[in-house]
Amino acid sequence: MEKTMKVYYLLSEEGRKKSILAGGDGKRKQELEVPVTAELLELSSVDYGGDIELKVGYSGTGTGCATGAKIQKDHQGFWVLRDTYQNSGIFDAPQTIEQLISWEKARRDRRKKAQEELEAKAGENELRRKELKDEYEANLERRKSREALEKEAGIRRRKEKLDWIEQFGSDHLQRAFRLDYDCQRKYVEERSAKEFPDYILDFDDDLDYEERVCPSEESLRIIEPLIEKGYSAQVVWVTPESDSYYDYEDESSSDEYEAVLIRFYLDRYQLYLPTVIEE
């Protein structure tokens, strides 16, 4: 008895209409039962029961399959194989077994060619893999170096803080620090009050300001020696939504004013000195 197998494919609406006009059943899923040949067997799958089937143009989910493939670079720069769907694999007319075999062979040939092209790019992929590895190791070294510098800077700041508190700190601050209370805000407040008594400490970085295009002569006089001493200083125009220097309920207060700003005081804080009040 001759062994037979089943071949399945899908018809579009146009194909289903043509099937009906040709005397067919007009169903989306078409089924052909044909004798097994060596050519068909090579394309087909065989289950544990010895039944043979071939799905042409779809994977069995009721939708068309990828009809081709191409190679392209992914987001990391590697050559990869991508499926293409220029033709969904759903047919617009009833197919003969010869047409289905030809279509499936062409699809597999396209994928095989794309796979061969990908294999030819193996050297480029290996080079890219090495580049990414080198980049990762370089970033790792930079991070370790940065962490070491930050640790060193932290130790330096801690020693500087300890030395200043022991020499200049209030009795309250010295006692708290000896008992291992950090008291960072009090330390910064006391130190800034001693080193820059006329300046306002912006501990929480709340000051709202803009660039000052043309500073006043007074601000230039103040800022020049600061820059000479190595401070990061600039003249700014303060917009006082979050500034507490003025009583804004007082109608005589100005809404905006010029100030000299010292940035990165003790590496992270801001100090500012209002210099010109616009009436």
DSSP string over 199-230: SEEETT----EEE-SS--HHHHHHHHHHHHTT
Q: What angle (nearest 5°) sits at the alpha carbon of residue 184, between those of residues 177 and 179?
A: 15
Contact 262, 196 (CB under 8 A): yes
The answer, yes or no, to whether residue 250 has pLDDT greater than 60, is: no
Q: What angle (nearest 5°) sits at the alpha carbon of residue 231, between those of residues 225 and 236?
A: 85
3-state secondary structure of 122: helix
Average pLDDT value for residue range 246-250: 48
Smallest CA-to-CA distance from 79 within 117, 132, 134, 105 is with 117
Tell me how far apart the alpha carbons of residues 69 and 113 are, in angstroms, rounded to a whole number. 9
Question: Which one has a higher pLDDT value, 279 or 159?
Answer: 159
The answer, yes or no, to whether residue 78 has pLDDT greater than 60, is: yes
Average pLDDT value for residue range 247-263: 71
Per-residue pLDDT band at 269 (split at 50, 70, 90): very high
CB atoms within 10 A of CB 57: 23
Smallest CA-to-CA distance from 258 within 241, 232, 278, 243 is with 278
Question: Which one has a higher pLDDT value, 63 or 277?
Answer: 63
Quick one: 6 exposed, middle or buried, by C-beta within 10 A (0-12, 13-18, 19+)? middle
Average pLDDT value for residue range 52-75: 84
How many Å from the N-terminal Cα to the C-terminal Cα in the chain?
Answer: 109
Decide the pairing of beta strands 52-55 and 4-11. parallel
Residue 151, pLDDT score: 92
Residue 67, pLDDT score: 81
The answer, yes or no, to whether residue 1 has pLDDT greater than 90, is: no
